[in-house]
């Protein structure tokens, strides 16, 4: 498969959301124009994004909403359950563990870890925080697909190295750190401080 840019994948996620919204409203077909309008992009961009994955829709008739939604779910890998572990049960980690919105998309949080003995054993909406010392043992046994990293900056790389050695191939990183991983591992970083700095940059440098 050709390399697909992150920005394209994000737009596919967005299109899927709009299609699901249309589905609940009972609409059966949608034009690239309408999808573009909802996504703040152009219909040429929509057609280009979708053309990566084969041919969809009929000229003049638009796309079939359930068909395109089904195909996008398949492309995005949403037709199955993904096991997600959270490493770090501080404020952000605990809030994520308690957030049930990911489940409906097939992302099941199967375990939460912390290194602090005061936190290990706490109950987070039915998940008992496990001892981070057992990470490797548990990963070998349970085969989680995705690790959410919510540890302090200083611990981030060392914990990532342990996750990668244990076989994790996908990391969602909330630590304010640039993680080094081998090429077969995918990292997405959510960095709120950097987003805030992007805003202060915009406020400072606007006309």
Give SS3 for 195: helix
Residue 190 is a binding residue for a copy of itself (CB under 8 A): yes
21-50: contacts with a copy of itself (CB under 8 A): 38-40
Give SS3 for 115: coil
Residue 123 is a binding residue for a copy of itself (CB under 8 A): no
The nearer residue to a copy of itself, 40 or 60, going by C-beta atoms, is 40
- Cβ count within 10 A of residue 71: 19
The nearer residue to a copy of itself, 54 or 60, going by C-beta atoms, is 54
Note whether 119 and 141 are within 8 A (CB).
no
The nearer residue to a copy of itself, 77 or 133, going by C-beta atoms, is 77
The nearer residue to a copy of itself, 4 or 128, going by C-beta atoms, is 4
Among 29, 145, 157, 162, binds a copy of itself (CB under 8 A): 145
Residue 180 is a binding residue for a copy of itself (CB under 8 A): yes
Give the HSE-up count for residue 145: Cα atoms under 13 Å, Cβ half-sphere: 10
CA distance 172 to 151: 12
Note whether 135 and 112 are within 8 A (CB).
no
**Helices marked H in 2-88:** 6-24, 32-39, 43-51, 65-75
Residue 98 is a binding residue for a copy of itself (CB under 8 A): yes
- Smallest gap from Cβ 133 to a copy of itself, in A, equals 25
CA distance 196 to 199: 5
Residue 178 is a binding residue for a copy of itself (CB under 8 A): yes
Q: Which of 41, 39, 77, 74 is nearest to 56 (CA)?
A: 74
Residue 158 is a binding residue for a copy of itself (CB under 8 A): no
Residue 48 DSSP one-character state: H
Give SS3 for 129: strand
Part in contact with a copy of itself (CB under 8 A); list of ranges 27-35, 63-71, 127-135, 163-171: 163-171
Under the rule (CB under 8 A), what is the footprint of a copy of itself? 1, 4, 6, 9-10, 12-14, 17, 38-40, 75-78, 82, 84, 91-92, 94-96, 98-99, 101-102, 105-107, 145-146, 169-172, 176, 178, 180, 184, 186, 188, 190-206
């Amino acid at each position: 498969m050709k390399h697909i840019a992150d920005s394209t994948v994000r737009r596919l996620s967005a299109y899927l959301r709009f299609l699901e919204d249309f589905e609940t409203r009972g609409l059966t077909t949608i034009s690239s124009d309408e999808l573009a309008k909802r996504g703040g992009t152009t219909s040429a961009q929509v057609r280009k994004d979708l053309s990566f994955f084969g041919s969809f829709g009929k000229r003049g008739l638009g796309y079939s909403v359930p068909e395109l939604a089904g195909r996008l779910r398949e492309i995005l890998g949403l037709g199955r359950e993904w096991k997600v572990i959270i490493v770090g049960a501080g404020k952000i980690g605990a809030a994520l563990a308690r957030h049930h919105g990911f489940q409906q998309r097939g992302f099941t949080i199967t375990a939460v870890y912390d290194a602090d003995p005061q936190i290990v054993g706490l109950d987070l909406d039915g998940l008992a925080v496990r001892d981070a010392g057992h990470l490797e043992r548990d990963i070998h046994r349970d085969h989680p697909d995705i690790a959410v990293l919510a540890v302090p900056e200083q611990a981030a790389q060392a914990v990532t190295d342990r996750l990668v050695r244990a076989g994790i191939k996908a990391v969602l990183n909330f630590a304010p750190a640039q993680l080094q991983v081998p090429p077969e591992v995918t990292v997405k970083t959510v960095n709120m401080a950097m987003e805030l700095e992007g805003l202060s940059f915009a406020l400072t440098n606007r006309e």
